[in-house]
């Protein structure tokens, strides 16, 4: 059985042990600090070396140019403006419902900018200043890709030379690699505010000309594709309605001409044979009047459907577009020196402490043996 005196002794020994461990830790830290002070020349040397490397990195690193386009997107009339014509349009078998529906609403439009189809189409577009070169050729000028053709390796400089080789697999593979790199490191698309419809498209590149041309071209391609898709269904309905209207007009004109031809063909008809003139003329006139009534309704529907297309067409108003000189971000030399000094200093301290620890460990092992 443990008595009170024994319990007090255990608590005292535990407290003494804790005090000793704290004292030992303080002594170890003091000895380590003294050791590092004795090696200050080595630490300073590595700090100077790291600072020099940081300065060299900042000096050699190319600046990043940013081309930015900001635009406001206003959706068109989702209702299509044709609900009042639904019954009339049903007679002709035409669906005059909304054109774009919910195809590219919200974040879907942002993802469209990052699709392979849009980026690839942009890369294969001619440059603004030199239409003989493609944007992908400009990309390859500062991001060369090595390809192997018939056993010999070379840097790809003109992308159209792959078309002459008729190697579609190699062409698509290289395009896929370039598209993936652009999505990852070059293209940034987002909304300035989730509650607003203001969209910003940034293209970051070490080549100023490529950044601006690529930004201009991809914004144009995506916005045109967006407009066409939103009104594609309504435009198809307008075409169908236009064809039907032209057909009815042709039938009406044909009936009018038929009536006149009948009159011309029987100038001095026998009064007892009036049926040969009156019946065909009345039949043609009736057909013309019927087609005239149908044509009037269809012309009204056609104009309403054209107006609906205008309502459904989204408004994309550019607020800011990239102009030269582009915004340039350069890695600061002072920042490079500071980062280099800190990293090299920490590494040198860690190396010296680790080296001293192993040396002491080896000495203790030799003493015991």
Q: Counting beta carbons within 10 angstroms of the beta carbon of residue 157, is it exposed (0 to 12), middle (13 to 18) or buried (19 or more)?
A: exposed
For residues 217 and 253, membership in a common domain is answered with no
> Range of 204's domain?
64-76+100-231+316-329
Distance CA 361, CA 230 (A): 75
User: Domain check: are 200 and 137 in the same one?
Assistant: yes
Total domains in the fold of the chain: 3
Specify whether the CB–CB gap between 268 and 232 falls below 8 A: no
- Does 257 share its domain with 225? no
Token pair, residue 80, equals 């299509």
Angle between helical axes of 116-123 and 168-185 (0-180°, round to 10): 100
Q: Mean pLDDT of all residues in the chain?
A: 77
Q: What is the C-alpha to C-alpha distance for residues 339 and 218, in angstroms, rounded to an integer? A: 37
- Same domain for 294 and 171, yes or no, is no
Q: What letter would DSSP give residue 66?
A: E
Res 88: pLDDT: 45
Domain match, 297 and 358 both: no
Q: How confident is the model at residue 181, as a pLDDT?
A: 92
Q: Which residue matches tokens 């461990």?
A: 21
Residue 114 near residue 189 (C-beta atoms within 8 A): yes
Segment 298-315, tens digit of pLDDT? 888 888 878 877 777 777
Residue 125 belongs to domain with CATH number = 3.30.1890
C-alpha closest to that of 210 among 285, 135, 149, 282: 135
* 69 and 180, same domain (yes or no): yes
What is the reported pTM?
Answer: 0.66
CA angle (143, 147, 153) in 5-degree steps:
115
* Site of tokens 């009204």: 300
Share of the chain above pLDDT 70, in %: 74
Tens of pLDDT, residue by residue over 174-215, are 888 899 999 999 999 988 877 777 889 999 999 999 999 999
Residue 92 in any domain: the answer is: no
* 235-257 per-position pLDDT tens digit: 777 888 888 888 888 887 877 77
Instruction: Please report the pLDDT score of residue 154 as a whole number.
Output: 57
Mean pLDDT of 127-145: 87
| 86 occurs within a structural domain | no
């Amino acid at each position: 059985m443990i008595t009170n005196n024994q319990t007090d002794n255990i608590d005292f020994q535990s407290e003494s042990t804790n005090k000793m461990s704290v004292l030992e830790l303080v002594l170890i830290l003091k000895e380590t600090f003294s050791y590092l002070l004795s090696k200050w020349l080595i630490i300073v040397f590595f700090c100077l070396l790291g600072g020099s490397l940081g300065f060299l990195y900042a000096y050699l690193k190319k600046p990043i140019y940013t081309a930015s386009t900001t635009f406001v997107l206003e959706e068109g009339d989702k209702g299509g403006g044709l609900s009042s014509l639904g019954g009339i349009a049903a007679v002709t078998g035409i669906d005059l419902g909304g054109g774009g529906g919910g195809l590219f609403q919200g974040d879907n439009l942002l993802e469209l900018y990052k699709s392979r189809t849009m980026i690839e189409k942009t890369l294969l577009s001619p440059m603004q200043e030199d239409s003989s070169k493609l944007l992908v050729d400009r990309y390859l000028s500062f991001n060369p890709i090595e390809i192997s053709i018939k056993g010999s390796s070379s840097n790809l400089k003109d992308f159209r030379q792959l078309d002459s080789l008729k190697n579609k697999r190699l062409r698509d593979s290289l395009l896929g690699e370039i598209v993936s790199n652009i999505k990852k490191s070059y293209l940034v698309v987002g909304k300035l505010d989730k509650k607003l419809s203001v969209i910003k498209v940034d293209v970051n590149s070490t080549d100023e000309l490529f950044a601006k041309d690529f930004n201009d071209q991809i914004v144009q391609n995506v916005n045109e594709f967006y407009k066409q898709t939103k009104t594609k269904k309504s435009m198809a309905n307008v075409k169908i309605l236009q064809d039907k209207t032209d057909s009815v007009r042709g039938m009406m004109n044909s009936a009018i001409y038929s009536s006149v031809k009948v009159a011309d063909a029987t100038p001095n008809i026998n009064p007892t044979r009036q049926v040969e003139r009156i019946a065909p003329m009345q039949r043609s006139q009736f057909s013309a009047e019927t087609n005239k009534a149908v044509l009037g309704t269809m012309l009204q529907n056609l104009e309403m459907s054209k107006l609906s297309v205008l309502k459904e067409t989204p408004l994309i108003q550019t607020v800011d577009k990239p102009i030269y000189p582009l915004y340039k971000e350069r890695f600061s030399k002072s920042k490079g020196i500071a980062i280099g000094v800190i990293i090299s200093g920490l590494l040198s301290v860690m190396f010296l402490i680790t080296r001293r620890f192993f040396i002491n460990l080896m000495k203790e092992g030799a003493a015991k043996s």
